[in-house]
Amino acid sequence: MVKIQKKISTYSPYLFGISGILLVTLIYFLITIFQNNEFVYPSLSSVFVSFGGFFYDLNKFVPLAYSFFRVLISVVISFIISLILTFIFVLYKPLLNLFKPILYIFKVAPLAAITLYLFLILPSNGVNYVVTCMLLIPLFLEANINGINNINKDILDDLELNKVNVFIKFFKVFIPIIFPYIIMSLFQGIGLAFKTTVMCEYLVLQENSLGFLIKIYKDSLNTSDLIGSILIIVFYVVIFELIIKIFKKYLFTQE
């Protein structure tokens, strides 16, 4: 009986997740029946055909792949910059105040306005990288600093007492300890990066991008492809998060 309960508790998140997806699908199906408006509420079959097209139709797959690549590059760049700023925080905390006004602007400024302004002063190919990094860097940095601030004081005192080199302290002690915070920020960052990148592509009309496809779908009033493009973003964000979860579990098991 205990084993059965453990199995149920282990798989319950997945069961509830699948149930939630089925529930949303059922609600949408009922709406399509009662509304009977193919223009506003396209049938499930047409939406799924559009969604599947992103896997075999090159006219859809190639722009999606470009957007996917831009997201990865933005996440990597943001992660590296956030680590550098975190190292500055460890090296000398007041020095980080030099970057705080810029980071605060990154955090609160309206992305749509920034995107349109950067479009005037930067090549269109670089706008989405800059805007996405502006969103991700404060997110990653805040998670890293919160992780460091929550490190056990005894560990910090031992490092200080033994006068451990700052590089060893940062890479050998701090990074492994704050790893869960890094993973959680990546969970949040990937979804935000995808949405921000697509928004930028849409605003600057960047060719070979999912954002440009969405612009075409909107202008042509192609509702099924519009919903299909939303589903493909959700699909890949979920895949990203599952990969990171598996990697996290494997890494901690190795330890």
Least confident of 6-20, 33-47, 80-94, 185-199: 6-20
- Per-residue pLDDT at 195: 85
Q: What is the mean pLDDT of residues 216-235?
A: 86
Query: Is residue 254 pLDDT above 60, yes or no?
Result: no
Contacts of 44 (CB under 8 A, 6+ apart): 25, 28, 29, 32
Q: What is the mean pLDDT of residues 8-22?
A: 62
Most confidently modeled range among 38-42, 115-119, 241-245: 115-119
Pick the residue with more confidence: 70 or 37? 70
* pTM, rounded to two decimals: 0.80
Exposed e or buried b for every residue in 163-202, given b needs 16+ CB within 10 A? eeeeeebbeebbbeebeebbbebbbebbbbbbbbbbbbbb
Least confident of 25-34, 42-51, 64-73: 25-34
d(CA 145, CA 181): 9
- Per-residue pLDDT at 35: 72
Tokens 């589903």 identify what position? 231
- Per-residue pLDDT at 81: 92
Q: What is the mean pLDDT of residues 139-145?
A: 88
Q: What is the mean pLDDT of residues 169-182?
A: 84
Query: Is residue 199 pLDDT above 80, yes or no?
Result: yes
- Per-residue pLDDT at 20: 67
Query: Is residue 251 pLDDT above 60, yes or no?
Result: no
d(CA 255, CA 182): 17
Q: What is the mean pLDDT of residues 53-82?
A: 90
Query: Is residue 6 pLDDT above 60, yes or no?
Result: no
Q: In the chain, what is the straight-line distance between the N-terminal and C-terminal CA atoms, in Å?
A: 31
Instruction: Using pLDDT thresholds of 50, 70 and 90, give the confidence band for residue 59.
Output: confident
Query: Is residue 122 pLDDT above 70, yes or no?
Result: yes
- CA 88 to the chain's CA centroid: 25
Query: Is residue 227 pLDDT above 80, yes or no?
Result: yes
Q: What is the mean pLDDT of residues 19-33?
A: 72
Q: What is the DSSP letter of 169?
A: I
Q: What is the mean pLDDT of residues 189-203?
A: 87
- Per-residue pLDDT at 33: 75
